[in-house]
Amino acid sequence: MNTIEKYDYRPNQVARGLINHKTRLIGIVTPKVSNAFHAELISQIEAEADRAHYNVIISNILGNFENEKKTFRIMKDRQVDGIILLHENTPDEMRELEEIVDFPIVLASVRVKDSLLPTVAIDDERAAFEAARYLCQLGHVRIAGVFSDSYSTGTLRRKGFLEGLQSWGIDRNSISLYTTECSFGGGIAVATEIKNQKNLPTAVFFASDEMAIGAINYFQDHGIRVPEDISVFSFDDIELSGFVRPRLSTIHQPIQDIGRKATDLLIKLIDEKPLSQREFLLPHQVIVRDSCANPRD
Amino acid sequence: MNTIEKYDYRPNQVARGLINHKTRLIGIVTPKVSNAFHAELISQIEAEADRAHYNVIISNILGNFENEKKTFRIMKDRQVDGIILLHENTPDEMRELEEIVDFPIVLASVRVKDSLLPTVAIDDERAAFEAARYLCQLGHVRIAGVFSDSYSTGTLRRKGFLEGLQSWGIDRNSISLYTTECSFGGGIAVATEIKNQKNLPTAVFFASDEMAIGAINYFQDHGIRVPEDISVFSFDDIELSGFVRPRLSTIHQPIQDIGRKATDLLIKLIDEKPLSQREFLLPHQVIVRDSCANPRD
DNA sequence: CTGAAAGCGCTTACAG
DNA sequence: CTGAAAGCGCTTACAG
């Protein structure tokens, strides 16, 4: 012990990894690290992993499934102890990925249809339902919804949104639906389409804050005021949403809790401890700020 | 070879790391992964590292030097091949960090006074000089500057800013200087101070976009219009700066090029290749958008 | 209880 | 040119 102190001996983690078959490395697989929502999540995961003496390897897969498979193979070669996946796949794709690795995978902030993988997320359907009801409450009738083509930010939120409107008795014909990417650019693209509609909706629900910010930008550029001419409600509550103008009314996702819980769950699985449940749906919140108003007509 | 194919054999990277004394792992050390500027930089570094078959370990140091030293020790234990540091330190602190590790370190987007470390950044002083001159050109005379307490975003940009104003003949007494953190919160804190000044400046230069966005938010909340009542010029040109209202006039940092170049440089050092120069100052750009106008008086 | 040996999965240097 | 041995830096199981 004295000698250890004296020479400041520190064991070589690579050698330990080889003998223990544990690297204390967690892989985070994400479509794009620089996405604001993911960056916050990654930051949180790193902090929680650090507490448990794990380190974190990140990887951008840039929306390409071949890339994602390659990444899983690399993580396997590197002998990471587990993966936190921030990306959705079809059930078939998911099965392909699971076959590549022999360590646990946890889904964070996303859900995969029919998957048996441990998941930490929110109730997307319920949250979108509440968002839709909020818009109805304000008096909106001609409403648009903008979603992605994936499961959580697409199917699930669209379903909840539609059910919310229906439960208020909104006519399906006065609802228009759009599909695009969860990015500033995606929002702009849809805003362009919406503007060219004959009959402008009085409110638009976006499945992500970044979409909403892009769209609001476009609306403002073209003389459409938010919320005076059009109300905007979105989803995620990234830090930024309180700093743009108008401040976004949005669904708050507990990013910190999701990151922390997903990390804890993965570590439990690595330690082969039993899980009390497979799916953790953390509480969301409807945040009312300045991007919604009553319709003018 | 046939057998390799047949059983899809893939060498264990941990074992290879042990024998080769190379892990093909790069450590990124950053104050906060979720900072927009850093997130874009990290994303870029990961992409470039991937191209060279390296993986990337990230670490939040959260502005604590003890934490940073601990991180360097962990990176050493993990036998990473090199570190890209996105954080500034005093020369003394930097020396302490250098002593911990035995592999190359590259500074990206920051500079350390008197350091001999390979660095990829922009000419902060020159860029701030140009920003100051731009404000003068618009006719501003009562000008405030907001900086951090570190070297690149503090000392260097402050120096260039002051020289720019001086070169235009602005009276030192009409310039007020502030120090805060490069975050939304830092910007809000300074905006509060500025608002309480007897004689409001007609233009404010912020050393980061995030500061500026926070401050603009505060100004707007308190009936101070940007740019009508006060012009705001900032620094970084994160993706967001084109999506807030008003769009930010700012100094463009070539984030992609910085990330790519820093990675290439580090890999060269890992391979013990010679560097053509120690410091690479990439070209910046003055981006004129909507947050600056002529002063009203 | 202490100390030497075996082994994790590779690569490299060397013997045949 | 091929194949067996040594060794990277640890940990674990076992002999003394």
Q: Which residue among B40, B220, B243 sits closest to A217, beta carbon to beta carbon?
A: B243
> In this predicted structure, what is the pLDDT of residue A227?
97
- Is residue B23 within 8 angstroms of chain A, CB to CB? yes
Q: How does pLDDT run across A152-202, given as a tens digit for each residue?
A: 999 999 999 999 999 999 999 999 999 999 999 999 999 999 999 989 999
Q: Alpha-carbon distance B232 to B202, whole Å?
A: 9
Sequence-distant (≥ 6) Cβ neighbours of residue B75 within 8 angstroms: B27, B29, B57, B59, B83, B101
Question: What single string gives the DSSP state of each residue in B80-110?
Answer: -SEEEE-----HHHHHHHHHH-SS-EEEES-
Q: How does pLDDT run across B208-226, given as a tens digit for each residue?
A: 999 999 999 999 999 999 9
The one-letter code for the residue type at B287 is: I
Check B59 against A40: CB less than 8 A apart: no
Check A11 against B46: CB less than 8 A apart: no
> In this predicted structure, what is the pLDDT of residue A181?
95
- Contact between A64 and A96 under an 8 Å Cβ cutoff? The reply is no
* Nearest CA among B284, B255, B280, B283 for reference residue B268: B280
Q: Is the pLDDT of residue B3 over 70?
A: no
- Is residue A57 within 8 angstroms of chain B, CB to CB? yes
Chain C positions with an atom below 7 A of a protein C-beta are 7-12
- Is residue A237 within 8 angstroms of chain B, CB to CB? no
Q: How does pLDDT run across A208-255, given as a tens digit for each residue?
A: 999 999 999 999 999 999 999 999 999 999 999 999 999 999 999 999
Q: Is the pLDDT of residue A1 over 80?
A: no
Q: How does pLDDT run across B77-116, given as a tens digit for each residue?
A: 999 999 999 999 999 999 999 999 999 999 999 999 999 9
* For residue A283, cis peptide bond before it (omega within 30 degrees of 0): no
> In this predicted structure, what is the pLDDT of residue B26?
98
Q: Name the residue closest to D7, CA to C1'.
A: B19
- Is residue B36 within 8 angstroms of chain A, CB to CB? yes
Structural domains present in chain A: 2-122+254-280 (3.40.50.2300), 124-253 (3.40.50.2300)
| Interface contacts A/B by beta carbons within 8 Å | 121
Residue A92's alpha-carbon distances to A63, A150, B123, in angstroms, are 16, 14, 50
CA B88, B123, B136 angle in degrees (round to 5)?
115
Q: Is the pLDDT of residue A270 over 90?
A: yes
> In this predicted structure, what is the pLDDT of residue A63?
85
Q: How does pLDDT run across A21-44, given as a tens digit for each residue?
A: 999 999 999 999 999 999 999 999
Q: Is the pLDDT of residue B238 over 80?
A: yes
* Nearest CA among B79, B86, B81 for reference residue B60: B86
Check B243 against A244: CB less than 8 A apart: yes
Question: A-chain residues within 8 Å CB-CB of B36?
Answer: 34, 36, 39
Is the whole-model pTM more than 0.85? yes
Q: How does pLDDT run across B266-291, given as a tens digit for each residue?
A: 999 999 999 999 999 999 999 999 99
> In this predicted structure, what is the pLDDT of residue A9?
87
> In this predicted structure, what is the pLDDT of residue A250?
98
> Closest Cα of chain B to A184: distance in Å?
8
Check A239 against B184: CB less than 8 A apart: yes
Check A23 against B17: CB less than 8 A apart: no
> Closest Cα of chain A to B249: distance in Å?
16
